[in-house]
Structure 1
Amino acid sequence: MDIRVFKTFIAVAENKHFGRAAETLYITQAAVSARIKQLEEFYATKLIIREKNNLRLTPSGDALLSHAHLMVSQMDQSKIALSIANQQKISFNIAATPNVWDAFFSNRIHDAIELLDNVALSTEISVREAIQRKLDDRTLDVGLLMDPIKDDEFTNELIGHFDLSLVGSRSTFDKNVEDYILVDWGITFQKEHALHHKVTPNFKTSTAMIALEVILSKGGFAYLPTELITQSLESQELFEIEAPLQIKRPIFMVYRKNNTNDELISQFKNLLMIIQ
């Protein structure tokens, strides 16, 4: 099936009009109709209902739409991959969980780009489960996590730490506060937090930057990276609270054993450890 047929289907679904879809794709309306017909014949089901001044997807059309987006996206990604291959550039893919990005890697991304200047570098922010899945299927070279992946197929290297501070918009804190924000700092932190804190959070997030923005705009308390809130403490926008938890969090660099990019992984590890 020609990928243009799926692009046409997406355009019709988004514009809810054959004529506007044709204008978007720079083809004739007849060509749009022909491609939709081809798709409906292929799947042996009606995908679009055309009524006067109204166009809508059938249940089958709704079901196909996400798959159409995926197929077009995968085709675009394959073109990028081939383009990179034609340029004889090695691809190197790094992912970090949201809080590792905020607390650790965001300040080091420029150094990584400079180090890997001759490499097709890709970075992303993703949840732990997705990072593990991509490492497993080899679409990712390195994951930066706060907790190691306990699997014999993976190497976990402790490359550094970052400090957390319990801070708030007020200088007093107890279990009765009603504006505490619980930030996800990994499995170990969650266990320690449950042991030492009886405060009930009114908001939860996996991203330190979101917690900081909420506190600065609406008030509240949260454990945040010390590097992130230094200026706010100095200006007394925030106040540091004495904390019962371990406030130094580890950073693990995780990768599959026998990775074809072993040399790049070693260079990247050395970079991160140098700029602690």
Structure 2
Amino acid sequence: MDIRVFKTFIAVAENKHFGRAAETLYITQAAVSARIKQLEEFYSTQLIIREKNNLRLTPSGESLLSHAHLLVSQMEQSKIALSIASQQKISFNIAATPNVWDAFFSNRIQDAIELLDNVSLSTEISVREAIQRKLDDRTLDVGLLMDPIKDDEFINELVGHFDLSLVGSRPTFDKDVEDYILVDWGITFQKEHALHHKVMPNFKTSAAMIALEVVLSKGGFAYLPAELITQSLESNTLFEIDAPVHIKRPIFMTYRKNNVNDDLIRQLKNMLSLIQ
């Protein structure tokens, strides 16, 4: 089975539209339909329900989707691996969730590049579920997360922390503000936030950089990490608000046991632990 068929299936599942899937793949809509039909004939089952203005996966389609992601990912990784092997370089792959990247790893990426200058380094920003899946199938070496993966096959090393502060475009804040932005900082933050705050957010996001951009361009308030807001506080572009929620979020470096790149993982852990 051509791997392009699985890429097309994923595009249709993500876009929920044959035409938009065709645009993302730079092929015709007829080609998309033909590939989906080929896949359904191969598995002898319907994968997609096509209704007017409504496209959804069947239970079989939902079941196939995770396998399609894995097949495509493994194929891409095999291409990269072969390319690297021809250059006699070791591959080392790091992924971080959006907020860990913004609050912690973005300021340390140059140090990681210098530390791993003799390997083929790959970095990405991804959601926790995707990171765990890639760690599990060994297409990823290290994940940087705020919450550890509780599984006996994984090792979670605490490598750092970052502080969250409530900041705003104005120096005064109360429960009646109408431009509060709620950033997803994990389960611990959510519990503290619900306990101490009655303010209703008008916008929610899982990315600190998006929240910061909205506050700077439109005004408002949000809990943001110190490393992102230092200059804005010093220039009085943003104001730190005295708030009851004071959170220090941990950063875990997570990886599978018996990783072939154990030595590189140890070096990265030591580097991240020292840079605080």
Q: Is the TM-score greater than 0.5? A: yes
Alignment of 1:87-236 (within 5 A): 87-236=87-236
Unaligned runs of 5+ in 2: 8-20, 45-60
Instruction: Give the secondary-structure state (helix, strand or coil) at the position aligned to 2:27.
Output: helix
Residue in 2 that maps onto 1:14? 27
CA contact (8 A) 1:136 1:256 kept: yes
Distance 1:141 1:73 in 2: 14
Deviations for 1:204-223, whole angstroms, at most 9, x for unmatched residues? 11111100110111111000
For the structure 1 residues 77 and 229, does the alpha-carbon distance in structure 2 shift closer, same or farther, using more than 3 Å as the test? same
The alignment yields a C-alpha RMSD, in angstroms, of 3.7
> Partner amino acid for 2:115?
L
Q: Percent identity?
A: 83
Residue in 1 that maps onto 2:85? 85
> Partner amino acid for 1:79?
K
TM-score (norm 2): 0.76
Cα offset for 1:72? 7.5
Distance 1:187 1:132 in 2: 18
Distance 2:40 2:174 in 1: 62
Residue in 2 that maps onto 1:252? 252
Deviations for 1:92-128, whole angstroms, at most 9, x for unmatched residues? 1111110000000001111111111111111111111
Cα offset for 1:43? 9.4
Cα offset for 1:40? 11
Cα offset for 1:247? 2.7
- What is the count of residue pairs matched by the alignment? 250
Cα offset for 1:170? 0.9
Instruction: Give the secondary-structure state (helix, strand or coil) at the position aligned to 2:200.
Output: coil
Deviations for 1:48-89, whole angstroms, at most 9, x for unmatched residues? xxxxxxxxxxxxxxx9xx99x977776554322211122222
Instruction: Flag the structure with larger Rg.
Output: 1
Distance 1:240 1:164 in 2: 11
Unaligned runs of 5+ in 1: 19-34, 45-62
